[in-house]
Structure 1
Amino acid sequence: MKKLLLFFCLLRLPALAQLPASPRQLYPGLFEAVQLARVYPDNKTFVDAVARQPPAQVMAAYARQKDQPGFELRAFVDTYFTAPAAAQAHYQSRVAAGLRPHLDTLWTVLQRRPDSAAAGPGSSLLPLPYPYIVPGGRFREVYYWDSYFTILGLQQSHRTPVIRHMVDNFAYLLDHYGFIPNGNRTYYLTRSQPPFFALMVSLLAEEEGAQSLVRYQPQLLREYAYWMSGADSLQPGTARRRAVRMPGGEVLNRYWDGSAEPREESYAEDVAAARLSKQAPAAFYQNVRAAAASGWDFSTRWFGPDGQLGSIQTTDLVPVDLNCLLYYLETTLARTYELQGHATQAAAFQAKAKSRRNAVLRYCWDAQAGWFQDYNLPRHQRSTIQTLAGVYPLAFGLATSAQADKVAAGLQSRFLRPGGLLTTLSASGQQWDAPNAWAPLQWLAIDGLERYHHPALARTIATRWVRLNADVFAQTGKLMEKYNVVNTQLKAGGGEYPTQDGFGWTNGVLLTLLNRYKLAESR
């Protein structure tokens, strides 16, 4: 009966659109040549470039010219493609005016108009019907999990119409593609990201009333169906796509990408890294892509015992953070049915949430370490890597009070540094490891600590993070994608691209913390 109800709810949604071709599919041969030759230093530049002629004409011209004497690949690309420019390249912040005016201005600088007219056969952009906020820098499109933390700041800025537009854009993507892609680009159509849509809808409901939850119920159901696809046919200890059946029969989830090819936006990096891995290329690429789906690309969290990218094993791991987010989605769906007076359906989703919570506590809680950790399905054991993903059970209310106390003690003794909380305890050179820190994880840790009655530690983390953000802004006039919280005089590093500024989720979390704790903008 429960499956039938879900089926009929999904039937009422529009038919899914056929997936458009990605740059590698449109320009076979040319694409690989451009990316491997590093025509642009950043592989993301070419996949974001817009063709000046229809793809078939571009490929015909390439076939005619590529073997002619004196052919220059860069000149050909410049002739047939328009490379993207940094959207805020001409924006200059006024440091003397202070952080708040800067943040308020950035919402306008980072906002994009509806792009149905701009996106065409020569562009990788997936058109969206409403305005949206991009992160900044090389990230010229909307990103899924980034947007929730951006929306936190939009709420503080009383920009409810912008929030509604953001939520409506994600609902549009769910209706057209059956899931929310990593970003609104064709080359992201094989994966999603951490499922924060339910949190966005809940935040909008704070502004516009509980009926917002009911209004987006069809899209919430569609996202749930995406994550749970294939779960019913699984045997214990097996996984399919994003669904995992645990040894005890419980259903949890993992990160997954439907492609086993190099990422188009990081093609040269993936090809080079695959040569150094002992894994078969297809398995390596799928693990790399799954890590990109997690948002944590890359971290020793996903690596094997040698701590190297070549041993990446993302698809083997059942992530604690993902399952907390899906717990929240299940409780939100239960709430949507309660609001409609549908007690049976509400009880069904409450039962799903309860089962997931029990499974997270069973498989991810390490009592000896006093920490929530990912679970390695093939090895039938918890990961030994401690990361800030361990704060999610506090942020979403799954932890017991005793567990939360131990996590708080671990944050204080192992993760807290002069600028905030480390992402992991490993200094590997990867961007999602020490000494780096990221605004979303600071927020979730702070919010989780407040939920479990550790206000002093929450305030300490918030104060250190705000001070670091403010100091870097005073020195550079910018807010960054990530920060070094160990040596606050140095920039964060690691990753496949330089540190980006803008920056959507940093802005949103910073403004929320300034207001929540009534903190000064500078020392």
Structure 2
Amino acid sequence: MNGSRLPDPFEKHLAAVSPADPLTPADRYQELFVEVQMNRVFADSKTFVDCAPRLHPERILEAYRSRCRLPGFDLAAFVAEHFRRYEIPPSDFVADPDCTLAQHIDRLWPVLTRRPQEHPPRSSLLPLPHDYVVPGGRFIEQYYWDAYFIMLGLDQSGQSHLLRAMADNFAYLIDTYGHVPNGNRTYYLSRSQPPVFALMIDLFEEKSICLASDYLPQLRKEYAFWMDGADCLRPGECHRRCVRLAGGEVLNRYWDDRDTPREESYLEDVLTARESDRPVHDVYRDLRAGAESGWDYSSRWLGDHGRLSSIRTTAILPVDLNSLLFRLEWQIALLSQVRGDAACAEEYRSRAEARRVAIDRYLWSESAGAYLDYDWQLERQRGDLTAAMLTPLFVRLAGPQQARRVADTVRGRLLAPGGLATTEVGDSGQQWDRPNGWAPLQWIGIRGLEEYGQTKLAGEIRRRWLRTVGELFERENKLVEKYILRPGAGHAGGGEYPLQDGFGWTNGVTLKLLQEDPQHAANRCRAGRLGF
């Protein structure tokens, strides 16, 4: 741990964490894994990779190889015999018609909280030392960028112990694996998600939970993960998540260290790659990189809006990723100064300023009045307008005039009846496009606009979003992963799986926004009582 000391509550639990299986399900079960996924033994590809083996995996694979060619072999029966499917723990939770929306969310936190106990041996789950909150639905593990938005709600609910526990889990993951995986599963270890750890620890000092500088070693280690190989690149070269541009600047992209189908979406990725005329491993890499972005999937990553197989995530330098890395650089600089390391503080201030200049040069569009993703292979900005353009405001790297231009563009092109639209594209079939809206983007947009005094537009997005969430809650007694941004609309669609309810980041963002707008009708809505 580079000689650093972790906060005491984190350190004392390390001995209780059992070692994880170093292999993913595809590595473990080889041709058995392929057969199960390609024959759709389970309707959702994620089900099998979350199963726990009843025997040692090597014995299961030996049994499969000895029996698979016998007459009458039943693959589904074999899987049921040798694997234990994860079952969601039974819950007697029901929506209480006497509870407000905020009270309903407060009651959901215990339902979504997982407590580290004996992890299933040789399963894909990565053990963690502390309690954590899962998103809900099919997402039964801790996810990286989801967790920040969940923590906003935990903060509002006074759950400071869970705030600290979850951040300590991420510190543990960084120290153990060198980065925060997409989620705490072995099949997620080859990628991360938008780097929001720096945002998490900001919550601590606001609430006097602990010193943010306690996590400086982990912040630096995470930064090293994202910048791996940057110093050795020449103009026009790339390595993992870094690209050195023609002018010598370094900006980042999303990446995944594997170029095979995602294990949790194996069949889906194979079918997508078959529709492309590119090498299948390139398609797989770009699908995986799209998953690292958190926007899985969106027209912003596609060459052709109508074809997922045209995905080219690794060719794109995203606005939001580079904004968050700017925030990470500034956070390291500030905390280094607090710790008395002036040289480190100056180094990271210089890095942040260099990134700001590069973002202005490559990602700012004066003609569009917006920040746009940059295609470094084609050496031009992407034409697609997305809600990611508000992230530079959120991390305070935009200039005042740029912020005004962004606000005008949002007002004219991305303000939907139900909140902040994700993109302008509505015919892609992907879930991170119109007509869907997402809680994390509402939060980033609202906070970013408020940072630059655009309170009227921020308030309008807040009001529209709360109405959207409140209407569905009154109609169906639940909060969901994403919403259609039209009044009275049905369920959001698109993507690879059905709509999920629960739902962690919607709960967290909504709870904070309700508190900020106490007069909004959503504060008075009740389950099953139509009042809007």
Please state which band the TM-score falls in when normalised by the shorter chain: over 0.9
**Pairs within 5 Å for 1:354-373:** 354-373=353-372
In the alignment, which residue of structure 2 is the partner of 1:80? Answer: 82
Distance 1:472 1:343, change over 3 A: same
Aligned to 2:16: none
Q: What aligned pairs does 1:383-462 form with structure 2 within 5 A after superposition?
A: 383-427=382-426, 428-462=428-462
Alignment of 1:250-265 (within 5 A): 250-265=249-264
Residue 471 of structure 2 aligns to a residue whose secondary structure is: helix
CA–CA separation in structure 1 for the residues paired with 2:211 and 2:365: 38
Which residues of 2 match residues 87-486 of structure 1 at below 5 A?
A: 87=89, 90-115=92-117, 117-121=118-122, 123-208=123-208, 212-305=211-304, 307-427=306-426, 428-486=428-486
Question: In structure 2, which of residues 63, 73, 76 is the aligned counterpart of residue 71 of structure 1?
Answer: 73
Distance 1:13 1:221 in 2: 14
C-alpha displacement of 1:44? 0.2
- Secondary structure in 2 matching 1:155: helix
SS at match of 1:244: strand
Letter in 1 for 2:467: R
Unaligned runs of 5+ in 2: 7-18, 526-531
**2-structure distance, mates of 1:366, 1:285:** 31
Output the CA distance in 1 between the equivalents of 2:77 and 2:201: 47
- Structure 1 residue 517: Cα displacement: 2.0
Separation in 1, partners of 2:512, 2:319: 25
Residue type of the alignment partner of 1:336: L
Counterparts of 1:220 and 1:247 in 2: how far apart (Å)?
A: 29
Which one-letter code corresponds to 2:141 in the other structure? Answer: E
Q: CA deviation at 1:10?
A: 4.2
1:460-493 per-position Cα deviation (integer Å, ceiling 9, x unaligned): 1101111111111111111000000035422110
Distance 1:326 1:477 in 2: 38
Amino acid at match of 1:61: A
* C-alpha contact 1:484 1:491 (8 A) present in aligned 2: yes
TM-score between both structures, scaled by the size of structure 1: 0.95
Runs of 4 or more consecutive aligned structure 1 residues displaced over 4 Å after TM superposition: 9-14, 87-90
Alignment-mate amino acid for residue 65 of structure 1: R
Shift of 1:98: 2.2
Amino acid at match of 1:177: Y
Cα deviation, residue 314, structure 1: 0.4
Separation in structure 1 between the aligned mates of residue 400 and residue 509 of structure 2, nearest angstrom: 26
Query: How far off is 1:422 after superposition?
Result: 1.1
TM-aligned CA deviation for residue 378 of structure 1: 1.0
Letter in 2 for 1:184: N
Q: Quick one: structure 1 residues 277 and 178, their matched pair in 2 at CA, closer, same or farther if it must change by over 3 Å?
A: same
Name the amino acid aligned to 1:82. R
Give the 3 Å change call, closer, same or farther, for CA 306–516 of structure 1 in structure 2.
closer
Residue 305 of structure 1 and its aligned partner are, at CA, apart by 4.2
For structure 1, list consecutive stretches of 5 or more residues without a partner in the other structure.
Answer: 1-8
Indicate the SS of the match to 1:97: coil
Deviation string, structure 1 residues 371-412 (Cα, Å, up to 9, x no partner): 101111011111111100111011111111111111111111
The reply on whether 1:55 has 2:57 as its aligned counterpart is yes
Output the CA distance in 1 between the equivalents of 2:305 and 2:364.
24
2:20 pairs with 1:21: no
CA 1:495–1:89 in structure 2 vs 1: closer, same or farther (change >3 Å)? farther
Structure 2: how far apart are the matches of 1:19 and 1:379?
A: 41
Q: In the aligned structure 2, how far is the partner of 1:36 from the partner of 1:340?
A: 53
d(CA) in 1 for partners of 2:237, 2:66: 50
SS at match of 1:271: helix
User: Amino acid of the residue matched to residue 267 of structure 1?
Assistant: Y
Contact 1:88 1:110 in 2 (8 A): no
Percent identity reads 48
Count of residues in correspondence between the two structures: 510
Name the SS of the counterpart of 2:207 in structure 1. Answer: helix
State the distance in 1 between where 2:95 and 2:191 align.
Answer: 35
Q: Distance in 2 between matches of 1:488 and 1:146?
A: 26
Do the aligned partners of residues 206 and 448 (structure 1) sit closer, same or farther apart at CA in structure 2, a change above 3 Å counting?
Answer: same
The one-letter code matched in structure 2 to 1:277 is: S
After superposition, the C-alpha distances for 1:150-192 in whole angstroms (9 at most, x for unaligned) are 0000110111110000000000000100000000000001000
- Aligned-partner Cα distance in 1 for 2:67–2:31: 13
Q: Secondary structure at the match of 2:181?
A: coil
CA shift for structure 1 position 498 = 0.2
Change (3 A) 1:230 1:10: farther
- Name the SS of the counterpart of 2:406 in structure 1: helix
* Structure-1 separation of matches of 2:306 and 2:376: 18
How much has 1:421 moved relative to structure 2? 1.2
TM-score, structure 2 normalization: 0.93
Output the CA distance in 1 between the equivalents of 2:281 and 2:464: 43
TM-fit CA distance, 1:89: 6.2
> What is the Cα-based RMSD across aligned positions, in Å?
1.6
